[in-house]
């Protein structure tokens, strides 16, 4: 429940796009993510950096510091793969409904999914 | 309150108080003159603070145990007041000069910046500017931040976020901007401006913001002069502004 609660808020379109870039490649720098996104949509490098920092604060992505010849950079990678992430979001939404409506929500789920 | 009224009722003390306040205000206004060197302007700021202490000192020495219902503890406190204010200002100055970079380093858990190329760049320019080579520290935050100290051991702090969004030339423009600050002793000016705002009631009525913006303009102009183009200073500033605008 606690893990799921971290994904309470829905992702913004840019957050979702950034995650879609990160999922297959796993570990990328801000500039690499920007390079992958700039052909698909109008976006600034600074905006990508803000989004990644936001996703890091939401505990959706992690980051390490990489020391390279040109200096130090953050390397970002997702905490969960796409399936795990989606599962956690669904779990969070279901838990929220149960918290809010209690037995009504549970009996609805039984009715709705019991038929199948 | 009666204490203050009886103090000001004395023509000599009244003249000292009004005279000190007028001269202190004039000194503070003079410290805003951009034609003066930073050292002179900072001297005027501290002279302003010292002059504000003068009437407080006279007030303390004129009162003490002579006032009915006040015991000698009050006298001791009043006697100490000018020393407390003066001592606090001097202590803040000494701490600022010797320990501020280290305090910031600890406060933000900054690590030494291990970038040989950038260190070489900084030391070459510092040598050319006849400055002590500043230490370089790295802040672990994605927000692009850079600041410097021109104290006993100069230091430049850069955040990881700077390296994420800026190109090599833009990073160099930021470093040159900070070297410009160190050369011009802007951190001393910033520190003194903030200190005077904190301790002087007169400073509440004197706009001091231009002191800080003037230092930024100077540092930008310095970086542009060294790089021979405004391209990188402008693009670095734009990217940093974009970051903050998007962050909201």
Q: Are residues B112 and B174 in the same domain?
A: yes
Residue B2 has pLDDT above 50, yes or no: yes
3-state SS, residue B191: helix
Instruction: Name the residue range of residue B55's domain.
Output: 3-72
B228 in the same domain as B138: yes
Chain A residue with the nearest C-alpha to that of B240 = A46
Are the beta carbons of B157 and B141 closer than 8 angstroms?
no
Q: Are residues B118 and B169 in the same domain?
A: yes
| Total domains present in chain B | 2
pLDDT in tens, B201-239: 888 888 877 778 888 898 999 999 999 999 999 999 999
Chain A partners within 8 Å of B247 (Cβ): 50, 53
CB B37, CB B71: distance < 8 Å: no
Chain B within 8 Å of A50 (Cβ-Cβ)? yes
pLDDT greater than 70 at residue B64: no
Please state the ipTM of this predicted complex.
0.75
Q: Residue B228: its pLDDT value, please?
A: 94
Q: Which residues of B129-149 are buried (b: 16+ CB within 10 A; e: fewer)?
A: eebeebbbbbbeebbbebbbb
Q: CA of B116, closest CA in chain A: separation in Å?
A: 8
Decide the pairing of beta strands B155-159 and B146-149: antiparallel
Secondary structure (3-state) at B138 = strand
- Spatial contact of B163 and B149, defined as CB atoms under 8 Å apart: no
Is B118 found in the same domain as B200? yes
- B29, part of any domain: yes
In this structure, chain B runs to a length of 248
Give kind and range of the element (H or E) at residue A71. Answer: strand A71-78
**Residue B84 falls within a domain, yes or no?**
no
Q: Is residue B91 part of a domain?
A: no
- pLDDT recorded at residue A9: 54
Torsion sign (Cα): A93, A95, A100, A106: positive
Which chain B residues contact residue A73 at CB under 8 A? Answer: 160, 163-164
| Position B94 in a domain | no
pLDDT in tens, chain A (116 residues): 444 344 445 688 888 889 889 988 678 999 999 999 998 888 999 999 999 999 999 888 999 998 876 678 899 999 888 888 888 878 888 888 888 888 888 888 888 887 65
On whether both B218 and B108 belong to a single domain, the answer is yes
Kindly state whether residues B62 and B113 are assigned to the same domain. no
Which of these, A28, A31, A68, A76, lies nearest to B114 by C-alpha position? A68
Kindly report, residue by residue over B126-155, the tens digit of the pLDDT. Answer: 999 988 999 999 999 999 999 998 877 899
Q: Give the one of A44, A52, A70 whose C-beta lies nearest to B142's C-beta.
A: A52
Long-range contacts of A35-41 (CB under 8 A, 24+ apart): A41/A14, A41/A17
Domain-located, residue B15: yes
Residues B131 and B42 in one domain: no
Distance from CA of A40 to the nearest CA of B (A): 19
B220 and B126 co-located in one domain? yes
Search chain B and give the residue with CA nearest A45: B165
Using CA coordinates, name the residue in chain A closest to B138. Answer: A72
Is residue B92 one of the residues assigned to a domain?
A: no
Q: Report yes or no: A44 at the B interface, CB cutoff 8 Å.
A: yes
What CATH number did the domain enclosing B236 receive? 3.30.2010.10
- Taken in order A13, A17, A23, A24, the sign of the CA dihedral is positive
Output the pLDDT for position B1. 64
Arithmetic mean of pLDDT over chain B: 85
């Amino acid at each position: 429940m606690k893990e799921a609660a971290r994904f309470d808020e829905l992702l913004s379109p840019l957050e979702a796009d950034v995650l879609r870039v990160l999922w297959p490649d796993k570990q990328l720098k801000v500039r690499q993510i920007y390079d992958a996104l700039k052909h698909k949509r109008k976006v600034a490098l600074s905006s990508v950096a803000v989004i990644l920092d936001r996703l890091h604060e939401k505990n959706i992505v992690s980051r390490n510091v990489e020391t390279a010849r040109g200096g130090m950079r953050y390397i970002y990678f997702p905490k969960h793969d796409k399936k795990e992430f989606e599962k956690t979001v669904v779990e969070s939404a279901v838990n929220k409904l149960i918290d809010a409506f209690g037995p009504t929500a549970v009996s609805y789920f039984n009715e709705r999914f019991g038929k199948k | 309150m009666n204490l203050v009224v009886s103090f000001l009722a004395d023509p000599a003390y009244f003249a000292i108080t009004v005279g000190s306040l007028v001269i202190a205000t004039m000194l503070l206004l003079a410290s805003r003159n951009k034609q003066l060197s930073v050292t002179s302007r900072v001297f005027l700021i501290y002279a302003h603070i010292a002059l504000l202490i003068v009437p407080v000192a006279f007030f303390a020495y004129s009162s003490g145990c002579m006032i009915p219902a006040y015991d000698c503890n009050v006298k001791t406190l009043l006697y100490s007041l000018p020393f407390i204010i003066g001592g606090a200002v001097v202590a803040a100055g000494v701490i600022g000069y010797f320990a501020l970079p280290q305090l910031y380093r600890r406060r933000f858990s900054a690590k030494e910046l291990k970038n040989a190329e950038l260190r070489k760049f900084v030391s070459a320019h510092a040598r050319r500017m006849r400055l002590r080579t500043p230490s370089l520290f790295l802040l672990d935050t994605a927000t692009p931040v850079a600041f410097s100290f021109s104290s006993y051991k100069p230091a430049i702090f850069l955040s990881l976020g700077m390296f994420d969004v800026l190109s090599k030339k833009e990073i160099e423009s930021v470093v040159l901007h900070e070297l410009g600050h160190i050369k011009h002793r802007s951190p001393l000016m910033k520190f003194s401006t903030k200190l005077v705002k904190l301790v002087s009631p007169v400073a509440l009525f004197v706009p001091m913001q231009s002191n800080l913006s003037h230092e930024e303009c100077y540092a930008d102009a310095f970086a542009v002069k060294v790089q021979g183009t405004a391209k990188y200073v402008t693009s670095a500033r734009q990217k940093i502004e974009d970051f903050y605008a998007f962050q909201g």
